[in-house]
């Protein structure tokens, strides 16, 4: 049986990964410091509490378990926070990952699937879809921290033969269609959960729309929202890909479709039947006008395709999660 370590498996995307792997018969261990993740989300595997910043905890983890592959989700991932506190981002995302890579090397675990981000691209050079050959000039420490790790992975492939796939996520959205797990951040900064909270009338005030003067079809930012289970299934494809392919690789993961902030609000109104009050605010620092994925490389290389193609279906799964009692 293939044995998988999920670092960050108590978090939003990691928990969906955990459920999918476990249901497919993989043997899964989660390593998580529970700083942003939820103990209650780890329902399909063993949880080992620990921090990638603690080399001795990693040492113990690899000494007491045998892993064929590691999936690494642990990261700080808020753009604004990374601008305000870059040291924290470089420590967690870069130094922490180095600890993990060194522990893997000592334990002779030679395959890694790494969570990267569309933030590695920075400002798109035109308003088309971004492919993996687009220049990588991140405009915030979060994006830089992920790009630094991608660079380390290339060097590790050359020096140590580490096989890796870096998956550059666009905007993860939605929840487990069965309602077991979903997105729950404190504080919540992401658009779709905030729109749903506004629909439910919870939270500290009206939804804020950051910037309506962008050069887009309605003035608000365009993003590519991809269902969290589609992201998880891409990791499964990446595990199979690593069986056959040495080297360090990167793939975009998105739906290939863009939606503006106002379109998300309108679609949520449709799905929920609720009114969604919002106020228009100035732009948020570090937000590019448009980020939409060209996913052809992932489709051809990984044999992956997203199943959820309509943003309303994605919002529907998140709505069900938000309406039911959850962690
Ligand atoms: N956004 C917004 N109001 C919110 C949260 C987000 O207008 O309460 C906007 C944000 O400025 C961006 C888009 O929605 O244009 C997606 O933001 P999110 O934080 O969900 O993801 P990001 O693209 O930053 O990873």
**Residue 183 covered by a domain:** no
CB 208 within 8 A of CB 279: yes
Q: Which one of 190, 262, 288 would you pick to mutate in the ligand 1 pocket, going by the greatest count of ligand atoms within 8 A of its CB?
A: 190
Cα gap 134→131, rounded to integer Å = 6
- What tokens does 215 get? 């050069």
Ligand 1: nearest atom to the Cα of 221: 15
pLDDT in tens, the chain (327 residues): 899 999 999 999 999 999 999 999 999 999 999 999 999 999 999 999 999 999 999 999 999 999 999 999 999 999 889 999 999 999 999 999 999 999 999 999 999 999 999 999 999 998 779 999 999 999 999 999 999 999 999 999 999 999 999 999 999 999 999 999 999 888 889 999 999 999 999 877 789 999 999 999 999 999 999 999 999 999 999 999 999 999 999 999 999 999 999 999 999 999 999 999 999 999 998 788 999 999 999 999 999 999 999 999 999 999 999 998 778
Regarding whether 116 and 11 lie in a shared domain, the answer is: yes
Residue 179 lies in a domain: no
Nearest CA to ligand 1 atom 5: 191
Do 73 and 200 lie in one domain? The reply is no
For residue 274, give both structure tokens.
Answer: 């609720």
Q: Are residues 239 and 277 in the same domain?
A: no
**199 and 91 part of one domain:** no
Q: Is 28 helix (H, G, I), strand (E, B) or coil?
A: strand
Q: What is the DSSP letter of 81?
A: H
pLDDT score recorded for residue 203: 74
What's the distance, CA 59 to chain centroid?
A: 26
Q: Dihedral sign for Cα 238, 242, 245, 246, please.
A: positive
C-alpha neighbours within 13 Å on the C-beta side of residue 175: 22
Is residue 181 situated within a structural domain? Answer: no
Q: Is residue 180 part of a domain?
A: no
What CATH number is attached to the domain comprising 287? 3.90.25.10
Question: Do 152 and 198 reside in the same domain of the chain?
Answer: no
| Residue 142 annotated among the catalytic residues of the structure | yes
User: Which candidate in 12, 89, 142, 214 is catalytic?
Assistant: 142
Based on the fold, state whether residues 134 and 280 are members of the same structural domain: no
12 and 125 both lie in a single domain: yes
pTM of the model: 0.97
* Rounded Cα gap, residues 277 and 205, in angstroms: 9
Ligand 1 pocket (Cβ < 6 Å) reads 79, 171, 189-191, 194, 207-210, 221, 223, 261, 284, 287
Say how far apart CA 251 and CA 233 lie, in whole Å: 13
Please give the distance, rounded to the nearest whole angstrom, from the Cα atom of residue 4 to the centre of ligand 1: 32
Ligand 1 centroid–CA 224 distance in Å is: 11
On whether both 211 and 97 belong to a single domain, the answer is no
Q: Do residues 112 and 153 lie in contact, with contact meaning Cβ atoms separated by under 8 Å?
A: yes
Q: What is the CA radius of gyration of the chain?
A: 19
DSSP 217-280: SSSSPEE-EEEHHHHHHHHHHHHHHHHH--SEEEEEES-S--EEHHHHHHHHHHHH-----EEE
Q: Are 242 and 113 in contact (CB under 8 A)?
A: yes
Looking at the fold, whether 122 and 195 belong to one and the same domain comes out as no
Task: Round to whole Å and give the CA distance between 112 and 71.
Answer: 6
Query: Domain tally for the chain?
Result: 2
- Residue 61 and residue 27 share a domain: yes
Range of the domain at 48: 3-173+225-254
**Does the residue 178 lie in any domain?**
no
Answer whether residue 268 is part of any domain.
Answer: yes
């Amino acid at each position: 049986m293939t044995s998988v370590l999920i670092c960050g498996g108590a978090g939003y995307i990691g928990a969906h990964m955990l459920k999918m792997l476990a249901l497919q018969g993989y043997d899964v261990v989660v390593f998580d410091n529970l700083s942003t993740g939820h103990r209650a989300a780890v329902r399909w595997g063993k949880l080992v509490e620990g921090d990638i910043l603690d080399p001795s905890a990693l040492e113990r983890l690899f000494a007491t378990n045998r892993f064929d592959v590691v999936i690494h989700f642990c990261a700080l991932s808020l753009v604004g926070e990374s601008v305000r506190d870059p040291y924290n981002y470089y420590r967690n995302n870069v130094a922490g990952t180095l600890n993990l890579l060194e522990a893997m090397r000592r334990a002779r675990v030679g395959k890694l699937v790494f969570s990267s981000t569309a933030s590695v691209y920075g400002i798109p050079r035109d308003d088309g879809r971004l492919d993996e050959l687009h220049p990588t000039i991140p405009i915030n420490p979060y994006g830089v921290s992920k790009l630094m790790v991608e660079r380390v992975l290339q060097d590790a492939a050359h020096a140590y033969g580490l096989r890796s796939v870096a998956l550059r996520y666009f905007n993860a959205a939605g929840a487990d269609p069965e309602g077991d797990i979903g997105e729950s951040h404190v504080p919540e900064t992401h658009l779709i959960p905030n729109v749903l909270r506004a629909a439910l009338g919870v939270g500290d005030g009206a939804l804020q729309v950051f910037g309506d003067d962008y050069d887009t079809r309605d003035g608000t930012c365009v993003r590519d929202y991809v269902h969290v289970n589609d992201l998880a299934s891409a990791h499964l494809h990446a595990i199979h890909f690593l069986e056959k392919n040495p080297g360090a690789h990167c793939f975009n993961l998105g739906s290939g479709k863009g939606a503006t902030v106002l379109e998300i609000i309108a679609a949520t109104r449709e799905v929920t039947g609720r009114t969604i009050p919002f106020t228009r605010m100035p732009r948020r620092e570090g937000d590019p006008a448009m980020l939409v994925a060209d996913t052809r490389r992932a489709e051809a290389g990984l044999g992956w395709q997203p199943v959820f193609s309509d943003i309303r279906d994605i919002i529907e799964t998140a709505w069900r999660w938000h309406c039911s009692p959850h962690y």
